[in-house]
Amino acid sequence: MLHIVDDEEVIRDSLTWLARSRAITTSTYDNGAAFLAALDTKKSFDPQGECVLLDVRMPDISGPALFDTLATRGLAQRLPVIFLTGHGDVPMAVDTLKRGAFDFFEKPFNDNKLMDRVQEALLASCDAGASAEIQSRLGNLSIREREVLDLILAGKMNKVIADELGISMRTVEVHRAHIFDKMNVKTAVELARLLK
């Protein structure tokens, strides 16, 4: 899903047409507030990945301001932002890229190259979605479980872990079972691949 946020009707329309030609579904918003409102009612993310084409100059909320709002909501990874600008102001481009924008395009742009980047962004969004899942699973682990997990990933045996942490073998096994359960894996190998 490609979110197009631009106050210019013509731009929204032409970009929708372009995205359609590359089989990318779109939704359009004529200002930042509408987009944020849509985000608030959003239940789930598109499994195909999502990204935002954001016009720098807009009447109510400017592109960078909207991007900052997304960043503070922790959506910068899940919703990669590609800026579009009519003014080639390089400092602003550098600034937004530093803050984590996905890319920056100056009008007139090479349309298919833009679409290529959009597709990359969609993929990145998917990856980010996955890693966000892992992160949330990791977040469920207790401190002791994180310590045990680190030692498991280091390839240590239960006995060694028990010794190093000064706990019993039995306790390590219980932690290990909890970790596998919480991380939704069956084996240590699977766990290691997930957290690679």
The contact set with other proteins (CB under 8 A) reads 7-8, 10-11, 13-15, 17-23, 58-60, 86-87, 107-109, 111-112, 115
Q: Which is nearer to other proteins, 111 or 147 (by Cβ)?
A: 111
Least distance (Å) from other proteins to the CB of residue 23? Answer: 8
Taking the complex as a whole, how short is the minimal distance between the CB of residue 16 and other proteins, in angstroms?
9
Q: In terms of CB distance, is 2 or 148 closer to other proteins?
A: 2
Q: Which amino acid is at 52?
A: V
**Least distance (Å) between residue 6 CB and other proteins:** 10
Measured from the CB of residue 8, what is the shortest distance to other proteins in angstroms? 6
Comparison of 84 and 121: residue with beta carbon closer to other proteins: 84
Please, which residue, 60 or 133, has the CB nearer to other proteins?
Answer: 60
Q: How far is the CB of 34 from other proteins (least distance, A)?
A: 13
The DSSP secondary structure of the chain, one letter per residue, reads -EEEE-S-HHHHHHHHHHHHHTT--EEEESSHHHHHHHHHT--S--TT--EEEEES--SSS-HHHHHHHHHHTT-TTTS-EEEEESS--HHHHHHHHHTT-SEEEESS--HHHHHHHHHHHHHHHHHHHHHHHHHHHHHTS-HHHHHHHHHHHTT--HHHHHHHHT--HHHHHHHHHHHHHHTT-SSHHHHHHHT-
CB nearer other proteins, residue 116 or residue 127: 116
> Please, what is the minimum distance in Å from the beta carbon of residue 57 to other proteins?
8
Nearer to other proteins, 12 or 176 (CB): 12
CB atoms within 10 A of CB 186: 8
Which residues have CB under 8 Å from 69's CB, separation 6+? Answer: 32, 36, 61
Quote the longest CA-to-CA distance of the chain: 69
